[in-house]
């Protein structure tokens, strides 16, 4: 298989032109995608030149090409990592048997649900972020937003390719539905909660790319282990692009934190009075987006997770680093709610796999928060950002009916509600952060609430014209 971009209408490394039926089906879906992009993609910038990275191959070195592109002309393509000959199931009931190149009938519905659920998040995030270009704090940030947006569009293509290729007519119908649902729409919402939440300003955008895109990393990594080989190969390449999204989030928050610290050291030290975002407000948005993202892993004890693992469809994060891959007689020690009390106990491992994946995710988030705290310390400020308890503010799973503080103490509903605005953004916080959101479009200039990045994109300087606005 070629790993290099070809000149087809739809760039791909899957030899699309050899399958006329599939090619025609995808070419029929393409205009719907483009009109969705025009309607729900970044508002107001479709005709501008943006300095973007485009995937052109799956080679580790040189997979991307940087140049100015108008977003509707972005070459959204289909890229799968090359097939590894002789690959076998790495876990579950079929461990050691050859992986599947076709969908096994008995697991068809489960597999389609996994692909559709992943696919739905991709256009959803573009919809959530559609107005943010209007208030970007710099051209550098504006470009990064659009980079994330076009790549989420490509991730939608990746999932639609699987639906069209392997799921026949209902796959095509699901692909159409992916363009019909709308984030936050009352009648046709996106499938998962966090993808229907408003993303009204850049603090939320950076928290989203830090925490919610990172959920994406863990879901993709679990699917990259799949015994359904086309899914595994698709997800592996998506992970390459995903890394940049989390970089945008982590460094974006880090720059806001740095600016807050600088302003604290000014005479008076009142961050808000000087037009910055204070650390306690940053903590509240961290609490919000982190907990919305924890929900995306699903219930703590889940028979769906057990079934997907047993079938070899969805593994653990880096399955290779484990020695045992069947998980029939093993257990996971975790907190559960029993009779209104939190107890620590062993749960059958296969049923605990959502929690196992969430636990890996939490460790990864903590590493990012540690880096933010290092910035605060380096600035000489005494303040520590923390991840709240995984029981706090949950809307899915075992903890969702109960009320916990960020420290993980159980409270009654009335007390929790009375204290809510200590922990989560209040309307006043939201209004304040929004009031700061004024676009800065002069090359190299930054809004006053965020520090400049340590370096530019692709080795270019900070004052490079990342988006041409005229
Ligand atoms: Fe994505
Ligand atoms: Fe992403």
User: Could you read off the pLDDT of 353-375 as tens digits, one per residue?
Assistant: 999 999 999 999 999 999 999 99
Tally of domains in the chain: 1
- Sheet strands (E) in 123-269: none
**How much distance in Å is there from the Cα of 118 to the middle of ligand 2?**
11
The answer, yes or no, to whether residue 136 has pLDDT greater than 90, is yes
**The Cα angle at residue 455 between residues 452 and 459, in degrees rounded to 5:** 145
Ligand in closest contact with the CA of 237: 1
Query: Is residue 99 assigned to a domain?
Result: yes
Q: b/e for 215-246, b at 16 or more Cβ within 10 A?
A: bbbbbbbbbbbbbbbbbbbbbbbbebbbebbb
Distance from residue 282's CA to the centre of ligand 1 (Å): 25
Q: What pLDDT, on a 0 to 100 scale, did the predictor assign at position 294?
A: 98
Asked if residue 299 is part of any domain, the answer here is: yes
Instruction: Tell if the pTM clears 0.95, that is, is over it.
Output: yes
Q: Measured in angstroms, how far is the CA atom of residue 41 from the centroid of ligand 2?
A: 15
b/e 59-74 (16+ beta carbons within 10 angstroms → b):
eeeebeeeeebebeeb
CB-based contact 211:293 (threshold 8 Å): yes
How many angstroms separate the alpha carbon of residue 105 from the centre of ligand 2?
31
Nearest ligand (C-alpha, residue 147): 2
What is the whole-number distance in angstroms between the Cα of residue 440 and the centre of ligand 1?
Answer: 27
Q: What is the pLDDT of residue 33?
A: 98
Examine the pLDDT at 469 and tell me if it is beyond 90: yes
Name the closest ligand to CA 153: 1
Work out the average pLDDT over 171-189: 98
User: How much is the average pLDDT of 284-304?
Assistant: 97
- pLDDT over 70 (residue 406): yes
Domain assignment of residue 163, yes or no: yes
Distance of CA 152 from the midpoint of ligand 2 (Å) = 6
In a domain, 46, yes or no: yes
What's the rounded Cα separation, in Å, for the pair 329 and 109? Answer: 27
CA dihedral 17→21→27→30, nearest 10 degrees, is -120
Residue 245 lies in a domain: yes
Please report, for the domain that includes residue 439, its CATH number. 1.10.620.20
Asked whether the beta carbons of 137 and 447 are under 8 A apart, the reply is: yes
Does the structure show a pLDDT above 50 at 416? yes
Question: What is the SS3 string spanning 402-421?
Answer: CEECCCCCEECHHHHHHHHH
Q: How far apart are CA 145 and CA 128, in angstroms?
A: 12
- What's the CA gap between 146 and 51, in Å, rounded? 9
What average pLDDT does range 399-411 have in this prediction?
Answer: 96
Please give the average per-residue pLDDT across 180-186, as a whole number: 97
Question: For 419, what's the count of Cα atoms within 13 Å in the CB-facing half-sphere?
Answer: 13
Distance 150 CA to ligand 2 centre (A): 10
Q: Enumerate residues 6+ apart whose C-beta is below 8 A from 427.
A: none
Ligand 1 centroid to 313 CA: how many Å? 19
pLDDT of residue 429 exceeding 70, the answer is yes
The helix/strand/coil state of 70 is: strand
Ligand 1 center from residue 116 Cα (angstroms): 13
pLDDT at 135: 98
Q: Could you say which DSSP state residue 373 is in?
A: H
Distance (Å, whole) CA 20 – CA 164: 12
Return contacts of 143-146, CB within 8 angstroms, 24+ apart.
143/50, 143/51, 143/52, 143/457, 143/466, 143/467, 144/248, 144/457, 145/42, 145/205, 145/248, 146/42, 146/45, 146/50, 146/52, 146/71, 146/467
The token pair at 329 is 């007689």
Q: How far is the CA of 128 from the centre of ligand 1 (A)?
A: 13
**Measured in angstroms, how far is the CA atom of residue 300 from the centroid of ligand 1?**
24
Q: Is the pLDDT at 393 greater than 70, yes or no?
A: yes
Residue 3 pLDDT grade (very low, low, confident, very high; cuts 50, 70, 90)? very low
State in Å: Cα 152 to ligand 1 middle: 5
Rounded to the nearest whole angstrom, what is the distance from the C-alpha of residue 333 to the centroid of ligand 2? Answer: 31
State in Å: Cα 129 to ligand 2 middle: 12
Which of 166, 128, 11, 15 is closest to 78 using CA atoms? Answer: 11
Query: What does pLDDT average to over the chain?
Result: 96
Q: What is the pLDDT of residues 57-105, one digit of tens each?
A: 788 777 889 999 999 999 999 999 999 999 999 999 999 999 999 999 9
Residue 240 falls within a domain, yes or no? yes
DSSP β-bridge partners for residue 70: 49
Which DSSP string corresponds to 214-255? Answer: HHHHHHHHHHTT-SBHHHHHHHHHHHHHHHHHHHHHHHHHHH
**What CA–CA distance (Å, rounded) separates 137 from 451?**
10
pLDDT given for residue 6 in this prediction: 56
Which domain does 185 fall in, by range? 16-468
Residue 273 lies in a domain: yes
- The SS3 call for residue 85 is coil
Looking at residue 2, its pLDDT comes to 44
Nearest-angstrom CA–CA distance, 44 and 39: 11
Q: Are 361 and 318 in contact (CB under 8 A)?
A: no
Q: Which ligand is nearest to the CA of 219?
A: 1
Find the 148 Cα to ligand 1 centroid distance in Å: 8
Three-state DSSP class for residue 333: strand
Alpha carbon of 204 to ligand 2 centroid (Å): 14
**Overall average pLDDT of the 209-233 stretch:** 98
Whether 220 has a pLDDT exceeding 70, the answer reads: yes
On whether residue 155 sits in a domain, the answer given is yes
Indicate whether 266 pLDDT > 70.
Answer: yes
């Amino acid at each position: 298989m070629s790993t290099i971009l070809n000149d087809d209408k739809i760039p791909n490394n899957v030899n699309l032109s050899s399958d006329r039926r599939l090619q025609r089906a995808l070419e029929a879906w393409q205009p719907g995608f483009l009109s969705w992009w025009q309607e729900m993609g970044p508002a107001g910038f479709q005709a501008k030149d943006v300095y973007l990275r485009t995937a052109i191959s799956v080679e580790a070195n040189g997979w991307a090409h940087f140049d100015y592109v108008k977003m509707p002309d972005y070459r959204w393509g289909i890229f799968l990592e090359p097939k590894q000959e002789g690959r076998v199931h790495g876990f579950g009931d079929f461990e050691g048997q050859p992986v599947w190149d076709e969908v096994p009938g008995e697991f068809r519905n489960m597999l389609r649900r996994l692909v559709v659920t992943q696919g739905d998040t991709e256009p959803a995030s573009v919809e959530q972020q559609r107005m943010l270009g209007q208030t970007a704090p710099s051209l550098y940030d504006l470009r990064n937003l659009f980079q994330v947006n076009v790549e989420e569009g490509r991730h939608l293509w990746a999932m639609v390719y699987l639906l069209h290729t392997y799921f026949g007519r209902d796959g095509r119908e699901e692909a159409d539905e992916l363009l019909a649902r709308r984030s936050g729409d009352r009648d046709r919402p996106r499938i998962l909660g966090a993808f229907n939440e408003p993303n009204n300003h850049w603090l939320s955008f950076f928290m989203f790319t830090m925490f919610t895109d990172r959920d994406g990393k863990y879901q993709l990594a679990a699917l990259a282990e799949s015994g359904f080989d086309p899914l595994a190969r698709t997800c592996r390449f998506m992970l390459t692009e995903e890394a940049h999204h989390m970089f945008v989030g982590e460094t974006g928050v880090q720059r806001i934190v740095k600016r807050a610290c600088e302003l604290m050291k000014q005479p008076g030290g009142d961050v808000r009075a000087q037009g910055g975002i204070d650390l306690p407000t940053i903590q509240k948005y961290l609490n919000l987006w982190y907990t919305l993202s924890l929900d995306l892993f699903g219930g703590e004890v889940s028979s769906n997770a057990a079934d997907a693992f047993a079938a070899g469809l969805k593994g653990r994060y880096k399955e290779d680093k484990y020695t045992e891959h069947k998980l029939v007689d093993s257990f996971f020690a975790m907190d559960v709610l029993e009779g209104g009390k939190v107890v620590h106990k062993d749960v059958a491992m296969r049923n605990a796999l959502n929690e196992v994946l969430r636990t890996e995710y939490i460790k990864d988030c903590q590493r990012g928060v540690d880096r933010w705290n290092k910035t605060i310390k380096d600035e000489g400020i005494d303040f520590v950002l923390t991840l709240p308890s995984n029981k706090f503010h949950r809307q899915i799973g075992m903890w969702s009916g109960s009320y916990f503080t960020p420290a993980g103490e159980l409270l009654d509903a009335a007390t929790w509600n009375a204290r809510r605005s200590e922990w989560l953004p209040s309307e006043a916080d939201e209004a304040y952060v929004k009031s700061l959101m004024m676009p800065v479009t002069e090359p190299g200039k930054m809004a006053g609430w965020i520090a400049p990045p340590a370096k530019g994109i692709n080795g270019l300087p900070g004052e490079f014209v990342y988006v041409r606005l005229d």
